[in-house]
Structure 1
Amino acid sequence: MAEDEHMSGRKFFAVTVLNSAITIVEAVGGLLSGSLSLLSDAFHNLGDTFSVIISYIAHRISLRDEDERNTFGYGRAQILAAMLNAVLLIVVSIFLVVEAIKRLTHPETINGELMMTVAIIGLIANLASTVLMHRGAKHNLNMKATYLHFLSDTLSSVGIIFGAAMVQWYNVVIIDPIITIIVAVYITCESWPIIRHTITILMQGAPKIDYDTVKQDLMQIDGITNVHHIHIWMIDENRIMFSAHINMRDMLLSEAEPIYHQVEELLAKKYGICHVTLQAEDFRGRGEEMILNEDLKQQLLKRQNEK
């Protein structure tokens, strides 16, 4: 959670003000100059403003302690915010590509000088916002999605400046919608992995861990004779949960606890697992599969009822 503390109220306020201001400037500049790429950047900046607000609210919610309603805490609020922001980026990108294609077939006159001036102002504001959000983007999907908004707008501003130069010096107005399409495609390509990762987390998907290796490592611990019914899932991008049934020789509870500690230490150091739940068994389940699927579960229940 310490990685998120940088998202202070001051930074939130500064980024919100910057993006609100540049949205107005680029929207007016785009309408006056006739530049679609400036208008597209204004749309992106408007999305950025909402993104920061959503991101900050989710961040504050995620800081709440665990309670009876959410025993694993509220960290997934940031996962939902990351997905929402990434989806918003893709929706806006699709809209802008459609508009850019229309411009390709029906080019319009563009004021290159005004387009250049507004684009430079946009670049400065977007770059400042990107720097402010950079730190948290490394370890937090929510911050990464928001950071991606600003990074995409910074790159868009660079492209718009290039386009403005082409319009002003060579009157190549077709470059404006082409830049819009390039930036939109780039944003979509960068946003999709975030959506895919958030879906995996919300579906309680497992990180890329070799289950066979996990079992082999646990079997090396003295006192464990078998491991089955393993479950590994992500609460968020930084917390991995683990549960399993382990067969152990018949022993006192005081003898089992040191083995539990060894399991927890191994899983934390080698696999980054932060929460471990173990069910100790003697002979029960020794011949069962490592991952228990629904069909196998029904078969086991049927066997037990027959007995």
Structure 2
Amino acid sequence: MENHNVQTGRRFLLVTLLNIIITLFELAGGLLSGSLSLLSDAFHNFSDAFSIVLSYFANRIGKRTPTLKNTYGFRRAEILTALLNSILLIVISAFLLIEAFKRFAHPEEVQGGVMFIVAVISFAANLLSTILLNHDSKHNLNIRATYLHLLSDALASVGVIISAALIIIFHIKWVDPLMSFLVSIYIIYESLPIVHKTFTILMEASPKLSFEEIKKDLLTIPEITGVHHLHAWLIDENEIILSVHVNMKDLPLSQTERIYLKIENILKQRYNVSHVTIQAECNRGRNTELILNEEKSFHNN
């Protein structure tokens, strides 16, 4: 695990350096060629470098062990960073959409040759960056948000290459803002699900679990006679926490522990629950709803 973290850190460092170089290169190329697509790509790369630095530190913070003050650890640091990065992408894309509309109304002269050369080099660097983070992006929402930054830039570079070719061959001015418009729409489309998912986690919404199925599975244990007050939430996109009250027969503590183990195995193997808190009761709460309505419970009392 430690070696994996070191490798991830090295990838983050290399990708950051690549993006800083690409940003400066594209900024100069955009100013020289007059290309909005190149300038938009440069802004995206600048945001990438910023987001990668944030993601790296969030990843390091998230690996810290739990403390007395943070008993669940620091994984939410990565969720907050993923949210920030995604919102940043949407804001930048919205700004570039406005600029693209302005260019449609007032087309400007673009030097296709300079634009093409810069775009090809940028595409190669962006592609290398996405390859470096591809594996980790499949298992970490924070790294995925950064990966999408890089992927969007690689796609933007492809768009700029196509635009430059069309400008060189057919002298079509409006293709430059059109490509900037299309890439910005794509980035917003890809970023919105991450914003939604991070909000869901931060609001402690329930993961996609069938609570009724969980209840049925727990009731298959002979000693359990009721299940209620079930709560489930996410620490990050992978770790599910669950708490539940179960009615059981009046048993010695030694037997109760064995039933706890059965409950934990069911929840882990069938529902991928990482941590479960169980409260055993004989008759208390037997007729209570599976999902407690706090307001209704208050008025009933």
TM-score with structure 1 setting the length: 0.96
Map of 1:128 onto structure 2? 128
Offset from partner CA, 1:129-151 (integer Å, 9 cap, x none): 11111111101000000000000
Offset from partner CA, 1:68-123 (integer Å, 9 cap, x none): 11000001110001001100100000000000000000000000000000000100
Would the aligned equivalents of 1:3 and 1:139 in 2 still touch at CA under 8 Å? no
Following TM superposition, by how much is the alpha carbon of 1:184 offset from its aligned partner in structure 2, in angstroms?
Answer: 0.3
How far, CA to CA, are the matches of 2:297 and 2:19 in structure 1? 54
Structure 1 unpaired stretches of 5+: 303-307
The number of residues matched between the two structures is 301
How far, CA to CA, are the matches of 2:40 and 2:144 in structure 1? 21
Map of 2:210 onto structure 1? 210
Q: Determine if the alignment matches structure 1 residue 77 to structure 2 residue 86.
A: no
Alignment of 1:43-122 (within 5 A): 43-122=43-122
How far, CA to CA, are the matches of 1:39 and 1:211 in structure 2? 50
Following TM superposition, by how much is the alpha carbon of 1:50 offset from its aligned partner in structure 2, in angstroms?
Answer: 0.3
How far, CA to CA, are the matches of 1:222 and 1:251 in structure 2? 12
Would the aligned equivalents of 1:4 and 1:140 in 2 still touch at CA under 8 Å? no
Cα root mean square deviation, aligned: 1.3
How far, CA to CA, are the matches of 1:13 and 1:292 in structure 2? 47
How far, CA to CA, are the matches of 1:212 and 1:22 in structure 2? 52
Offset from partner CA, 1:138-172 (integer Å, 9 cap, x none): 01000000000000000110010000000011001
Structure 2 unpaired stretches of 5+: none
Runs of 4+ with deviation above 2 angstroms:
1-10
Offset from partner CA, 1:246-272 (integer Å, 9 cap, x none): 000001000111100000000000000
Following TM superposition, by how much is the alpha carbon of 1:219 offset from its aligned partner in structure 2, in angstroms?
Answer: 0.4
TM-score with structure 2 setting the length: 0.98
How far, CA to CA, are the matches of 1:163 and 1:234 in structure 2? 44
How far, CA to CA, are the matches of 2:54 and 2:10 in structure 1? 16
How far, CA to CA, are the matches of 1:177 and 1:155 in structure 2? 15
Where 2:292 maps in the other structure, the secondary structure is: coil
Map of 1:200 onto structure 2? 200
How far, CA to CA, are the matches of 1:210 and 1:6 in structure 2? 38
How far, CA to CA, are the matches of 1:290 and 1:116 in structure 2? 62
Give 2:101's aligned amino acid. Answer: I
